[in-house]
Structure 1
Amino acid sequence: MTETIEIPTSVEQLTPAWLTGFLGENGHDDTITAVTAMAVGTGQMAGSYRLTLDYSGPAELPATMIAKLATGEPEQRAFGSGVFRNEVRFYRDLASAFTVPMPRCYAATISDTGTEFVLLLEDMGAAVQGDQIIGCTAAQAESVAIAAAGLHAPRWNDPALLAEMPLPGEAEREMMESLLAPMADVYRERFSPDAQSSAAIDWLVREAGDWLVAPLRNTALIHGDLRVDNVLFGPSGEVTVIDWQTITTGNALRDIAFLLSTSLTPEDRRKHERGIVASYHRAVVTAGVTGYTLDECWDDYVGNLIQAPLIIVFGSAAAQPTERGTAMFDAMLSRSAAAIDDLVPGGLAGR
């Protein structure tokens, strides 16, 4: 952790002197003489900026990098402190164990309270961020699902991971259930969901507690928010996964269910989801996972569709309200409600 300098909470505080000191404390000796910043991305919890850097001489570091930091009012930053800790921990302590494509991290710091942090990350250049409102193609979703195998497989059923990051228990269930119904009411007031989406929220409130603590056959580290807004697509179709704020342990198919149910149109999902799940299954088996059948993988996919409305309801409460955010959450819930109605036994009719 950086102890000697204050951690910025606005892009204007990312001065040449601060950046030079910060990078120096993280093992980089280049001296920055000038910096310009441009906002990038559509993050709901933190600000991201492309920094263009001038150095005093030949430099080991690149001319551009992405700065991610906690912005907004103190109350908003306090609300997000847990996810800020998650992302810094992932890049600083966990990332090296996984093969999922991600940006290189040049420097990371977070305050003791978790309300201030800065990450300096690799600028992926020509890659383009996915658009959650538009969604993605089936081919893009398949590429992301295959890439996710590089996150899930390396620590599949790893008892050391579960010791570091235990699965939720009854205390977490009680806390979630105490918050979920009021947050669902807030969501309805803010977004006015249609009948099918509202039925999905009812289903979430009713089912989430049991789902959260249900015994798991298999566990992994999961991204927790794997959707196209959190993926960069390169010019040749390569993918890079970003925004590691919601990492946790759980069933790996939570990520795949969330990805497909929120990022594909219902028509594309219905046509391609079985093939994409099969491609994902081949990828984790190739990466070393054993004793896991395709039928089990599909059952896990269907059994974790609840991930989408859960993240949508909680995420909308945590995010700073924006016009784009409203459109995004509405599109995500509408798509995921269709998936639940299609695939969960009994659907949403009459629920």
Structure 2
Amino acid sequence: MGSSQVLLTAAQVAARSSIERVLPSRPRTAQDVPRSAADLTDEWLTAVLCRDVPGARVVGHEIHGGSDGTSSRRAVTVAYDEAGTRAGLPTALFAKSAASFQSRLFLVLSGVTESETIFYRDIRPELDRLRSPRAFHAASDRRRYRSIVLMEDLAVEGWSFPDPMSESLSLADAEAMVDQMAYYHAAYWGDPRLEQRFGLPTTAAFQERLNQIGIEKRALVGIERARDLTPERLRRRESELLPAVMRALRRNSAGTQTLLHQDVHQGNWMRDPSGRLGLYDWQAVARGEWALDVSYALAVNLTVEDRRAWERGLLERYLERLGEEGVADPPSFDGAWLRYRQQPFHVVVFALLTIGAGRLQPDMQPRDYMRRCWHRIATFVDDHESLDALDEPDRA
């Protein structure tokens, strides 16, 4: 997609948004994709929530609270008639949509809405031990620049969503992260359905979509804004960072394919009622080699000191868990250590993009949080000489 196509799409999204302000959406059938939670109707909720219960219908709903960032998130309380109540249909829901002009432009152009729909509709039901919300309905409409996921509201079941700036992660927390990643990686290790049935993009293809809408320009701004947090040795090689991104992702995309979350920063982890960490927000889901998720998670979510002290043990644990989850021939530690060192560049560009955000980007993360993330990421890249690791030969 060239710059002229991007401008044309931006104009189309703006025009669609203007029309919808004058003519609000009234979704009625399951084929309709509401613009946002504000447009939900009892008729549409009946179509998507009551389809398997004859005679059941939604008789009322309320929208509560919520927040806006890359997407818009709202809690939804639903009331049913006697048939729906007797069947135990869900009453506490959470709606996630691309409601604002910025989020619709960003998410549609990058293909995010389609991939997230695929995850919640087709993949999530197969992962019974994943600590992550289940969806009751997920749909996207590329023609109208809309998407919506209607999922269970875990907050009412005792799950918590801690502020990453006020919570430090323990070794047990890091182990829980590693275990969850090993579980969903093993479930789709080398699985051709990721491409042939689900149609997920590779990590390189996912990033190429972002590059087409000016992401690299914003990342360059991010480098300038975050220079004071970059280790001196890495500052001298700043010009190599963005070219390394696609080198790393092409290598990642050529490895053994598995399911990747791709955005495993601390703000996307929650705690179940027993305190165990679980993962949500699958907007960036893609297919590629395992190390992208693992290096991202440990680089961003642990303090520099803890990551240095724990990372070898955590990587050993991850490889052991792969075998326990059914991967017949997990990577060797030496080979995995090299991949781990080579694969922080996806989070490099994600962090710099967010720090360098322009006016057409949605507000994705708080500034102080992203500055902390960048300090940890840049230190990881410096510690592991990741730029040079991309040139090292593979190890058995």
Residues 70-89 of structure 1 mapped to structure 2, 5 A cutoff? 70-73=98-101, 75-81=102-108, 82-89=111-118
Match of 1:342 among 383, 387, 391: 383
Distance (Å, rounded) in 2 between the aligned partners of 1:169 and 1:34: 44
What is residue 105 of structure 1 aligned with on the other side?
135
1:240 is paired with a residue whose SS is: strand
Counterparts in 2 of 1:137 and 1:37: CA distance versus 1, 3 Å:
farther
Q: How many residues align?
A: 344
Aligned-pair identity (%): 24
The CA deviation string for residues 193-214 of structure 1, in whole angstroms up to 9 with x for no partner, is 4151683854421312322222
Match of 2:62 among 25, 36, 53: 36
Distance (Å, rounded) in 1 between the aligned partners of 2:245 and 2:207: 11
The CA deviation string for residues 41-79 of structure 1, in whole angstroms up to 9 with x for no partner, is x66311122222222222421331111111212x53022
Residue 252 of structure 1, CA deviation: 0.8
| Partner AA of 1:262 in structure 2 | V
| Partner AA of 2:304 in structure 1 | P
Tell me how large the CA RMSD over aligned residues is.
3.2
Structure-2-length-normalised TM-score: 0.76
Distance (Å, rounded) in 2 between the aligned partners of 1:243 and 1:102: 9
What is residue 362 of structure 2 aligned with on the other side?
320
Moved more, 7-16 or 113-122: 7-16
1:61 is paired with a residue whose SS is: coil
Match of 1:264 among 296, 302, 311: 302
What is residue 92 of structure 1 aligned with on the other side?
121
1:221 is paired with a residue whose SS is: strand
Counterparts in 2 of 1:120 and 1:269: CA distance versus 1, 3 Å:
same
What is residue 92 of structure 2 aligned with on the other side?
64
What is residue 324 of structure 2 aligned with on the other side?
286
| Partner AA of 1:309 in structure 2 | V
| Partner AA of 2:308 in structure 1 | R
Residue 119 of structure 1, CA deviation: 1.3
Moved more, 136-145 or 22-31: 22-31
The CA deviation string for residues 296-323 of structure 1, in whole angstroms up to 9 with x for no partner, is 222221111212212223455485237x
| Partner AA of 1:67 in structure 2 | A
Structure 2 gaps, min length 5: 1-26, 390-396
Distance (Å, rounded) in 2 between the aligned partners of 1:7 and 1:170: 26
What is residue 136 of structure 1 aligned with on the other side?
169
Distance (Å, rounded) in 1 between the aligned partners of 2:353 and 2:309: 29
Distance (Å, rounded) in 1 between the aligned partners of 2:104 and 2:222: 21
| Partner AA of 1:303 in structure 2 | Q
The CA deviation string for residues 204-225 of structure 1, in whole angstroms up to 9 with x for no partner, is 2131232222274422111111
Q: Which structure would you say has the larger Rg?
A: 2
Counterparts in 2 of 1:346 and 1:35: CA distance versus 1, 3 Å:
closer
| Partner AA of 1:38 in structure 2 | H
Counterparts in 2 of 1:177 and 1:166: CA distance versus 1, 3 Å:
closer
Structure-1-length-normalised TM-score: 0.85
Contact 2:79 2:91 in 1 (8 A): yes
Moved more, 292-301 or 180-189: 180-189
Match of 1:121 among 140, 151, 155: 151
2:328 is paired with a residue whose SS is: coil
Structure 1 gaps, min length 5: none
Match of 1:19 among 36, 45, 51: 45
Distance (Å, rounded) in 2 between the aligned partners of 1:233 and 1:184: 31
2:75 is paired with a residue whose SS is: strand
Counterparts in 2 of 1:4 and 1:278: CA distance versus 1, 3 Å:
closer
| Partner AA of 1:205 in structure 2 | L
Counterparts in 2 of 1:51 and 1:263: CA distance versus 1, 3 Å:
same
Counterparts in 2 of 1:23 and 1:39: CA distance versus 1, 3 Å:
same
